[in-house]
Amino acid sequence: MTTSTNQPPRRRRHGCATALLAPFVAAARFQRPGRQDRLTDPAISGAQVARTCIGLGATVWLFFAYTLRREAGGVINDKLVEMLIAAAVLMVVGPLVVGAFVWSARPPLRGRYRRRLPGPLTAFGVLFGAAALLVFSFQSNLNGSFIAGGGVAGSLLSLLTGIASLFLLPFVLASSVLSVHHSFRTADVHEVLPPLLSPVVVTVMSALQALDGPPVNAPQSVWLLFLAGAPLSVTALSFWELGRLRTRYGITLRGALGR
């Protein structure tokens, strides 16, 4: 005869680690594709991770290899504004690409894709909203007069804004990386959309960086190579990904559009 004892489940411990990881967990929840029946290919996922790691590594190397053009605070402030502008541009470019895809699809595929749009729209909206709030909290010329004229309420708002920025900064940084990595959850609509949208997103971001100028005192050749490397490598990876979807799974753009 055997006896069994029911032990109460162990409670999860919440502490500093959970608080520090919260912005990154939230960013992954908003930016990671959520459609359960979407195709996942280990080789494609591995190549996307490698691409993201190489891009981050190149950025870190650029900042460590060369001195900053301005003080660190000014560079961070410029990058926040650049991030907001990039998010605003992508809020237009991304939906245009996705909208053109959905509109070009034949019924009943068009209706199916339309029902899958909340995922990408959430990814776009969350990144833009968080970037706008973060820029507002860091721009004293935007919020200073508003807070100064608010008395006690203004002081409380200033405190809440400072606390929120501690969450928003890592959240926006993680969301920016993950949004490019996951192509704003466009795989929720169809598997061919990420390789179609990725080159557009990266090219737009590289163009904005080119207009803003280098944040470090790097030679012009290094800066141009840095700017050109991202869109060229992402475009090459997108062609490879589309080819793999076609040869391994029979998924093509024409088939996705029902044509």
Higher local confidence (pLDDT), 2 or 37: 37
Residue 92 scores a pLDDT above 60? yes
Q: Higher confidence at residue 4 or residue 163?
A: 163
What is the pLDDT, as a whole number, of residue 75? 67
Alpha-carbon span 94 to 98, nearest angstrom:
6
Q: What angle in degrees, to the nearest 10, is found between the helix axes of 151-181 and 72-104?
A: 60
In angstroms, rounded to a whole number, what is the distance separating the alpha carbons of residues 240 and 222?
Answer: 26
pLDDT of residue 158: 65
Does the predicted model carry a pTM greater than 0.85? Answer: no
pLDDT given at position 2? 46
Residue found under tokens 């776009």? 124
pLDDT in tens, 46-70: 888 888 888 888 888 888 888 877 7
Q: Encode pLDDT of 21-42 as tens digits.
A: 888 999 999 999 988 888 889 9
The mean pLDDT value for 233-243 works out to 91
| pLDDT level of residue 147 (50, 70, 90 thresholds) | low
Kindly report the number of other CB atoms within 10 A of residue 140's CB atom: 10
Reply yes or no on whether the pLDDT at 12 is more than 80.
Answer: no
What is the average pLDDT value for the chain, to the nearest integer?
81
pLDDT, residue 153, reads 63
* Mean pLDDT along residues 141-146: 54
Q: Percent of the chain scored above 70 by pLDDT? A: 79
Mean pLDDT across the stretch 112-130?
Answer: 90
Q: Which two tokens stand for residue 104?
A: 């070009």
> According to the model, what pLDDT value does residue 201 have?
82
User: Does the pLDDT at position 4 exceed 50?
Assistant: no
- How many angstroms separate the CA atoms of 95 and 184, rounded? 10
Q: pLDDT tens across 159-191, in order? A: 677 777 788 888 988 888 888 888 889 999 999
The pLDDT value given to residue 18: 76
Identify the pLDDT of residue 189.
Answer: 94
